[in-house]
């Protein structure tokens, strides 16, 4: 029997859950990232298999996840060859053939399937839906729940079972900076955290973040890896990288970060933290942080003279359509702030 629904597939009670993956070992966004957090052992096995070139389109990669309460089959369904690429309907067709074999081989009585390749993969759901119905119609005595495309579940509904990471100097400083930002009672988004970490690194803290010019100013893609690791342990709200979220620091993590910095006598690191706090005090809004970081980037990384006010303003307003809407007075104010505290 096939039924269609929407919602959070990770809360489904079926014996088997299907996860959409690529063939290069990356679960970086969307449903795959949700599965990575919910079933870390499955991800580790999948990553090792990808490293050995054992994961390919048309073939399921299956793991069995067991604990004292439950047993789940996780069926990793390759819908892409590379995470940067798009899905192909042929990958879905061939994969469904193998999926039927897996269901029969393991005597699976119930299975939940996401909208294969129709989210980040870009395929037309109406076509994929028909392919699923045709391929699975031959199965007898199997309860099949197909989840149709919908928004990501709320961040609070995404289970996290990853191992708690160690506290490090960089993580402790970022957490303390987030605590400072939150004291002004503004919501903290992924974009805000990008700017906070940017200034922390520019203050001299070696965070190994690879910043580039992006739509909202300096952006480091590898910071997302850090946020994924600490999500659910030190912070809450990062989610799957797709859903809009407000990120906050867990109370226990603030205490742990403070103790770490005190015990390790990180005098220079704490000076850098204070330097950033002094700069952003009164600028704890998304737009203020964006303008402040963008102006700093233009002077320090694009080579414009800090006294060339018109040149800096023109550069930013021609950055993209979004930045064209930023008022010159905001740019001038940020420029003066950066000069006042000797950041440029």
Residues, the chain: 344
- Alpha carbon of 29 to those of 78, 138, 159, 238: distances in Å? 15, 33, 15, 11
CA distance 308 to 148: 53
| CA trace torsion 302, 304, 305, 308 (10° rounding) | -150
What are all long-range contacts of 130-134, with beta carbons under 8 Å and residues at least 24 apart? 131/89, 131/92, 131/93, 131/96, 132/2, 132/96, 133/2
Of 36, 37, 72, 80, the active-site residue reads 80
Measured from the Cβ of residue 114, the count of other Cβ atoms closer than 10 Å reads 24
Kindly provide the residue ranges of all beta strands, DSSP E only, lying in the chain, ordered along the sequence: 2-5, 16-21, 61-66, 71-78, 110-113, 143-147, 211-214, 217-220, 235-236, 248-249
CA distance 141 to 147: 19
Could you tell me which residues are beta bridge partners of residue 326? Answer: none
Q: Tokens for 52?
A: 């050995």
What residues contact residue 98 under an 8 Å CB cut-off, 6+ apart? 58, 59, 60
What residues contact residue 253 under an 8 Å CB cut-off, 6+ apart? 175, 230, 233, 234, 235
Is 37 among the residues known to form the active site? no
How buried is 169 (Cβ within 10 angstroms: 0-12 exposed, 13-18 middle, 19+ buried)? middle
| CA trace torsion 279, 284, 288, 294 (10° rounding) | 50
Residues recognised as catalytic? 80
């Amino acid at each position: 029997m096939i039924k269609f629904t929407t919602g959070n597939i990770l809360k489904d009670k079926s014996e088997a859950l299907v996860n959409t993956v690529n063939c290069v070992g990356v679960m970086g966004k969307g449903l795959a990232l949700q599965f990575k957090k919910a079933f870390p052992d499955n991800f580790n096995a999948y990553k090792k298999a990808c490293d050995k070139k054992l994961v390919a389109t048309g073939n399921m990669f299956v793991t069995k996840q067991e604990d004292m309460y439950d047993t789940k089959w996780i069926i990793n369904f390759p819908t892409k060859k590379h995470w940067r690429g798009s899905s192909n309907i042929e990958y879905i067709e061939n994969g469904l053939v193998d999926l039927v074999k897996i269901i029969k081989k393991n005597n699976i009585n119930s299975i939940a399937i996401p909208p294969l390749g129709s989210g980040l993969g870009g395929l037309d759901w109406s076509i994929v839906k028909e392919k699923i119905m045709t391929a699975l119609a031959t199965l007898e005595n199997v309860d099949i729940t197909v989840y149709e495309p919908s928004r990501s579940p709320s961040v609070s509904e995404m289970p996290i079972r990853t191992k708690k990471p160690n506290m490090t100097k960089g993580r402790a400083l970022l957490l303390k900076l987030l605590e400072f930002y939150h004291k002004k009672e503004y919501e903290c988004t992924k974009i805000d955290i990008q700017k906070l970490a940017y200034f922390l690194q520019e203050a001299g803290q070696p965070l190994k973040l690879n910043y580039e010019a992006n739509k909202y100013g300096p952006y480091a893609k590898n910071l997302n890896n850090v946020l994924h690791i600490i999500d659910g342990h030190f912070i809450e709200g990062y989610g799957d990288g797709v859903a809009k979220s407000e990120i906050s620091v867990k109370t226990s993590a603030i205490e742990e970060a403070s103790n770490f910095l005190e015990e390790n006598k990180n005098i220079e690191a704490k000076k850098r933290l204070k330097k950033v706090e002094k700069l952003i005090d009164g600028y704890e809004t998304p737009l203020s942080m964006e303008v402040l970081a963008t102006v700093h980037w233009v002077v320090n990384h694009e080579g414009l003279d800090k006294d060339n006010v018109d040149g800096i303003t023109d550069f930013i307003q021609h950055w993209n359509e979004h930045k064209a809407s930023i008022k010159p007075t905001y740019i001038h104010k940020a420029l003066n702030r950066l000069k006042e505290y000797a950041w440029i």
